[in-house]
Amino acid sequence: MLLLFAEIMKLTESLNRLIKELNERQREVIVHRFGIETAPKTLAQLGKKYKVTRERVRQIEAMGLKSLRKKAQGDDSLKKHFEVLVNYLEELGGVRRVDLLASDAQLIFKDPKISSSYLELLFVIFEKPHLFSENKDFYSFWYLSPKHLKNNLDFVKKLLKFLKDKKEEVLEKRLFDYLFSQVVKEHSLSDFVALNFIQNSKRFATNPFGDFGLAEWREILPKTVRDKSYLILKKRKTPMHFREIAQEINKIGFDHRRAHPQTVHNELIKDPRFVLVGRGLYSLREFGIIPGTTREILKKILKTHGPLPLEKIIELVSQQRVIKHNTILLNLANRKHFKKTEDGLYRVA
């Protein structure tokens, strides 16, 4: 699909050359309005600078663009760049997020100076593709036609419904594959195009472990120390010291906020999802960990399994807590709560 660009002028060079052919006022307005290698400015800012009305600045901009469109018709280099980008967008389903397309274009054309500003000017000159402006649900993205835009919006709507109906707190690889076998095929899309559609939406995200889901789900974008700790323990599947949990939170870097060990300890001790299983060691209740003191754990195990020999009791308690054997023996020796049968088994008194 891609052309060999070694023999033609770079995209940024072609645009800069056309801009230089404008009169001074048009050139300055175009450069500042689109932010070509400078900070973009509003009509009001430029009006104040040139001591004219915003409407006059808009007129100068319109005249400059009209001149650029005329000049671009005779610029084969610029036309080739534009055609390649349009073909590239077609392969992606006719849409692409603004920042991602700029990065793509740098690689395609081997031109690191290409920015979103240059592409916006190029597309305004050729009057295609169109810009979908950022809102609370979508990032800014380019789309080739209303049909391409509708395809993206419809797919996102369908995917949102799919995830909400499933009520999943995280979409691991197995469910992610299922999603694409159900939703993607229904829309006759390739995985590549579907992923591109997803990237335009703010409603979806992946966590540091690669799990996919709604950005509002606590296991996808955890915001509190408790939620970050929960996700780490769920992935680790073994007890962790609160200091180690804090270190892991900071290592992963969920956001700019650092976790302090004492804060982690203070938060987890108050949350019923977590169980203290040893000195500073935490695990998750959902793993079948029994909350409570050593005596309470012993009672629950014996009530569940019936009379047991000491070795079996130690084995079952070790699955729940990091407790010394002598501590278990001392608790079992309390005749008010436990009895030892004639055949050497322990039971609840």
pLDDT tens track for 143-168: 999 999 999 999 999 888 888 876 65
Asked if 61 and 122 sit in the same domain, the reply is: yes
- Flag whether 179 is in a domain: yes
In a domain, 344, yes or no: yes
Of 134, 159, 188, the residue that ends a domain is: 134
Domain identity same for 85 and 49: yes
Specify the pLDDT at position 106.
96
336 belongs to a structural domain: yes
Which of these three, 85, 112, 134, is where a domain ends? 134
> Quick one: 15 and 117 in the same domain?
yes
* CATH value at residue 48: 1.10.10.10
Same domain, 24 and 127: yes
Longest dimension (CA), the chain: 106
Whether 104 and 18 map to the same domain: the answer is yes
Give per-residue burial for 302-331: e unless 16+ CB within 10 Å, then b: beeeebbeeeebeebbeebbebeeeebeeb
pLDDT at 293: 75
Query: Strand pairing partners for 241?
Result: 281
- Does residue 79 share a domain with residue 20? yes
pTM of the model: 0.77
CA distances from 196 to 60, 105, 141 (A): 37, 15, 11
Q: What is the reported pLDDT for 171?
A: 59
In angstroms, how far is the first alpha carbon of the chain from the final one? 80
139, part of any domain? no
Residues 18 and 91 in one domain: yes
Does residue 3 form part of some domain?
A: no
Residue 78's nearest CA partner among 31, 136, 9 is 9
Task: Say if 220 falls within a structural domain.
Answer: no
In the chain, how many H helices and how many E strands?
17, 10
pLDDT of residue 36: 94
Mark which of 134, 156, 176 sits at the end of a domain: 134
- Is residue 37 domain-shared with residue 122, that is, in the same domain? yes
- Residue 239: other Cβ atoms inside 10 A: 21
pLDDT value at position 320? 74
The answer on 158 and 231 residing in a single domain is no
Domain count, the chain: 4
Position 5 in a domain: no
| CB-CB contact of 198 with 151 (8 Å) | no
- Which stretches of the chain drop beneath a pLDDT of 50? 1-7
The pLDDT, as a whole number, for residue 2 is 45
Question: Is the Cβ–Cβ distance between 40 and 33 less than 8 Å?
Answer: yes
Radius of gyration in angstroms for the set of CA atoms belonging to the chain, rounded to a whole number: 31
Domain residues for 53? 11-134
In a domain, 202, yes or no: yes
